[in-house]
C-alpha cells in the first residue's frame, strides 16, 4: 500500500500555491515526469481482463475515443490544436483533472493551469473533466459588501430556483435574471473590486447558454474560453459525454457485472478509511452502500446515480443479479433489466447501456467511481484538490480489492487567492482583530478571577475595597487543609464578587470592545475569504496567479 500524503490547503498569504509534484522540481521533491513514468509502470502491471480485452488494451482504445471526442467538444466553441498523427497523440501522456461546472474559487481553478503546465512539461495533453453529473445546488453567489468594521454578503441569483437535478439537465429558467446577473453582481462588488473580470466575462456565459442550452455547460465553456485567452491549451469533456463512449460502457458493464464485489469493496474501503482517520460517524465521508429486500429478492446498492426524463432527481441505484440478467432500479419508479453478467459479451453491455441513454434514462457514476474510471482508463496522472486527494485513498483501496494491484498515483494542487482590498482598506491585510479579540477575552476572564490585578496603582481605593483585597490575599496564601479548603474557596469567591462590582465599568468597557472586535472578525472573514469565485477578481491578478511563474 502506498503511503498516505497529509496535505493541507495553503491559507496564508494570498497567492500561495500547493503543487505536488512541483512544476519546477528541486532537491528532495518529485517531478511530473517521474510520476508519469511510475504510473505507466503501475498500469502495465494491471493484468485484469475487462470483457474480452486486457486492461491496457481497453486503456488504449478509451484514450483514442476520449481524446477525439474531447477535441470535437472543445473545438465546438474555441480553437483546438489538432494533431495529424493519432497513434502518436494517444501515446503521449494524458494529464487529467475535473470539477463541477460552477463558479469556483481561484484555488480550484489553479488545477486547470497546472494541467496545462504539467502537459507542456511532459509533451502530453491536458484534459479537464466537467462533472455535470453532480447536483446543481445553489444558483446564486455571495457578493461581499461593506467595510473592515462591518461587512456582510449579499446573495445574488444568476437564475431562479428549480427542482433538484444534475447540472447535465439544468437549463436556464429565468432568462432575465440570468442575463442581468453580471451587471447586478459587478455593481455590488464595484466599491471593493472595480475591475473584476465578471462584467466582461458574463456576456460570454450568456452567449454559450444560447448554444449549449445548459446552465452548467455555459459557465464551463465561457470559463474555458477565458483559459484560451490566458494561453492554456486544455481540452474539456463533460461526464455526460464521457460515459456514452463505447469503451467506457464496457468498463461500466464490467463493474456492474461484478456488482456485489464492487458493493463489498466500496463499503470495506470506506470502513478502512474511517478507521485510519478515526471517524466515528457511519455517514462520513459518505454513507455505506445499502442492501434492500423486496418481493423480488435482494438488492445491493452500487455507486451510480439514476434519473429519467420524467423525474430528473438524482436517485440511488440498486442492482439485483439473476442468470444472464442484471436489474437496475431506484426502488421507486425506474427499473430496467440489462443483459449484463460476467460471462456475457461486452457488445451486449454496450447495446444495453446505449438503449438506456436513447430512452433518456441516465446512469452516471458517483464521485469515487468517476475518478476510478478516469485514473484507470484515461489519465497518466490525475490532478486532485485537497479534498479529492483525501477521499481518493478510498478509491485506491477499491481498486486494490477489485483488481489486486495499486492504482496509478495522483497529483495534488490547491491555492489561496484573496480579493485585492489593500488599496481600498490599506490596513486590512496587516490587521488581526481575532488576535486582539482573544486578548480582550483573556482579560475579561482575568478580571473575573483576579479583579485586583486591574486596579490602577495610583487609584485611591475605598477602604472596604483595600480590606477586601488584603483579605483575599490572606486566603490565597492560606494552605488549603482539609478543614479549611471549603471555607478558603468560599472566601476567595466572595472577595472576587465584591471586587468585580467595583470593576464593573472596566468589565463593561471590555465587553463593548469585544463586541466591536467580533464584528471586525466577522467582517474580515467576509472580505478576506479564500472562497470568493474567480470571476470576482481582476484579470491581471488571475493571470499572475495561474501562470505559475514561481511554482
* Domains of the chain listed by start with CATH number: 20-132+223-248+368-422 (3.40.50), 140-212 (no CATH), 249-365 (no CATH), 433-527 (no CATH)
Q: Report whether 421 contacts 192 (CB < 8 A).
A: yes
CA 286 to CA 501: how far, in whole Å? 53
Alpha helices, H only, 22-131: 32-44, 55-75, 86-91, 106-122
CA 447 to CA 138: how far, in whole Å? 46
CA 537 to CA 312: how far, in whole Å? 34
pLDDT at 85: 85
pLDDT at 466: 85
Element of type H or E holding 54: strand 53-54
Name beta bridge partners: 126: 95, 234
Cis-peptide into 21, omega within 30 deg:
yes
The single residue listed with the C-alpha cell 503546465 is 117
Residue 86: name the closest of 50, 125, 47 by CA: 125
pLDDT at 549: 54
The single residue listed with the C-alpha cell 504510473 is 39
The single residue listed with the C-alpha cell 493484468 is 47
β-strand pairing of 49-50 with 53-54? antiparallel
The single residue listed with the C-alpha cell 456475457 is 344
Reading the chain (551 residues) residue by residue, the pLDDT tens digits are 444 455 666 766 889 999 999 998 877 778 999 999 999 998 888 888 998 888 889 999 999 999 999 999 999 999 998 777 888 999 999 999 999 999 999 999 999 999 999 999 999 999 999 999 999 989 999 999 999 999 999 999 999 999 999 999 999 999 999 999 999 999 999 999 999 999 999 999 999 999 999 999 999 999 999 999 999 999 999 999 999 999 999 999 999 999 999 999 999 999 999 999 899 888 889 999 999 999 889 999 999 999 998 999 999 999 999 999 999 999 999 999 999 999 999 999 999 999 999 999 999 999 999 999 999 999 999 999 988 888 888 999 999 999 888 889 999 999 999 999 999 999 888 889 999 999 999 999 999 999 888 887 656 778 888 889 899 899 988 888 888 889 999 989 998 888 888 888 999 999 999 999 999 999 999 999 999 999 999 999 999 999 755 44
CA 347 to CA 353: how far, in whole Å? 10
Element of type H or E holding 412: strand 411-415
pLDDT at 47: 80
What are the grid coordinates assigned to 41, written together? 509502470
Residue 122: name the closest of 27, 264, 21, 7 by CA: 21
What are the grid coordinates assigned to 502, written together? 467595583
Q: Which residues contact 79 (CB under 8 A, 6 or more apart)?
A: 228
Supply angle C-alpha 491, 496, 498, rounded to 5.
Answer: 95
Alpha helices, H only, 76-152: 86-91, 106-122
Residue 146: name the closest of 422, 423, 425 by CA: 425
Residue 436: name the closest of 514, 376, 371 by CA: 514
pTM to 2 decimals?
Answer: 0.90
Amino acid at each position: 500500500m502506498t503511503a498516505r500524503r497529509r496535505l493541507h490547503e495553503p491559507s496564508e498569504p494570498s497567492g500561495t500555491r500547493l503543487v505536488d509534484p512541483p512544476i519546477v522540481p528541486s532537491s528532495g521533491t518529485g517531478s511530473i515526469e517521474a510520476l508519469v513514468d511510475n504510473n505507466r509502470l503501475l498500469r502495465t502491471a494491471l493484468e485484469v481482463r475487462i470483457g474480452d480485452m486486457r486492461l491496457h488494451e481497453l486503456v488504449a482504445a478509451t484514450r483514442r475515443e476520449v481524446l477525439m471526442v474531447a477535441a470535437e467538444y472543445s473545438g465546438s466553441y474555441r480553437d483546438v490544436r489538432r494533431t495529424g498523427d493519432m497513434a502518436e497523440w494517444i501515446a503521449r501522456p494524458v494529464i487529467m483533472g475535473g470539477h463541477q461546472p460552477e463558479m469556483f474559487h481561484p484555488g480550484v481553478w489553479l488545477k486547470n493551469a497546472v494541467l496545462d503546465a504539467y502537459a507542456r512539461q511532459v509533451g502530453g495533453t491536458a484534459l479537464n473533466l466537467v462533472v455535470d453529473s453532480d447536483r446543481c445546488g445553489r444558483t446564486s453567489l455571495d457578493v461581499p459588501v461593506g467595510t473592515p468594521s462591518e461587512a456582510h454578503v449579499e446573495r445574488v441569483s444568476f437564475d431562479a430556483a428549480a427542482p433538484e437535478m444534475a447540472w447535465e439537465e439544468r437549463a436556464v429558467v429565468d432568462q432575465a435574471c440570468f442575463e442581468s446577473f453580471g451587471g447586478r453582481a459587478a455593481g455590488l462588488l464595484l466599491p471593493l473590486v472595480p475591475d473584476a473580470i465578471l462584467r466582461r466575462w458574463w456576456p460570454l456565459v450568456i452567449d454559450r447558454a444560447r448554444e449549449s442550452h445548459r446552465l452548467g455547460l455555459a459557465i464551463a465553456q465561457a470559463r474555458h474560453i477565458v483559459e484560451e485567452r490566458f494561453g492554456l491549451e486544455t481540452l474539456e469533456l463533460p461526464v455526460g459525454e464521457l460515459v456514452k463512449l463505447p469503451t467506457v460502457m464496457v468498463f461500466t458493464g464490467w463493474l456492474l457485472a461484478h456488482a456485489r464485489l464492487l458493493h463489498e469493496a466500496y463499503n470495506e474501503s470506506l470502513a478502512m478509511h474511517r478507521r485510519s482517520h478515526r471517524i466515528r460517524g457511519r455517514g462520513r465521508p459518505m454513507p455505506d452502500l445499502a442492501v434492500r429486500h423486496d418481493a423480488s429478492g435482494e438488492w445491493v446498492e452500487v455507486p451510480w446515480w439514476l434519473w429519467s426524463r420524467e423525474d430528473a432527481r438524482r436517485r440511488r441505484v440498486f442492482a439485483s443479479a439473476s442468470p444472464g440478467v442484471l436489474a437496475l432500479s431506484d426502488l421507486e419508479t425506474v427499473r430496467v433489466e440489462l443483459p449484463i453478467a460476467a460471462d456475457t459479451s461486452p457488445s451486449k453491455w454496450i447495446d444495453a447501456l446505449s438503449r438506456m441513454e436513447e430512452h433518456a434514462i441516465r446512469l452516471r457514476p458517483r464521485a469515487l467511481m468517476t475518478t476510478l474510471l478516469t485514473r484507470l482508463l484515461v489519465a497518466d496522472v490525475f490532478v486532485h484538490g485537497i479534498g479529492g486527494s483525501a477521499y481518493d485513498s478510498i478509491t485506491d483501496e477499491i481498486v486494490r480489492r477489485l483488481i489486486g494491484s495499486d492504482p496509478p498515483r495522483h497529483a495534488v494542487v490547491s491555492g489561496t487567492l484573496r480579493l485585492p482590498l489593500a488599496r481600498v482598506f490599506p490596513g486590512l491585510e496587516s490587521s488581526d482583530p481575532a488576535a486582539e479579540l482573544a486578548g480582550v477575552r483573556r482579560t475579561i476572564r482575568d478580571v473575573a478571577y483576579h479583579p485586583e490585578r486591574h486596579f490602577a496603582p495610583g487609584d485611591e481605593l475605598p477602604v472596604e475595597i483595600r480590606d477586601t483585597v488584603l483579605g483575599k490575599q490572606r486566603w490565597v496564601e492560606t494552605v488549603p487543609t482539609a478543614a479549611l479548603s471549603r471555607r478558603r474557596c468560599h472566601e476567595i469567591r466572595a472577595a472576587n464578587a465584591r471586587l468585580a462590582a467595583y470593576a464593573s465599568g472596566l468589565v463593561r468597557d471590555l465587553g463593548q470592545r469585544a463586541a466591536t472586535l467580533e464584528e471586525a472578525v466577522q467582517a474580515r472573514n467576509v472580505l478576506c475569504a479564500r472562497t470568493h469565485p474567480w470571476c470576482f477578481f481582476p484579470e491581471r491578478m488571475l493571470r499572475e496567479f495561474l501562470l505559475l511563474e514561481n511554482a
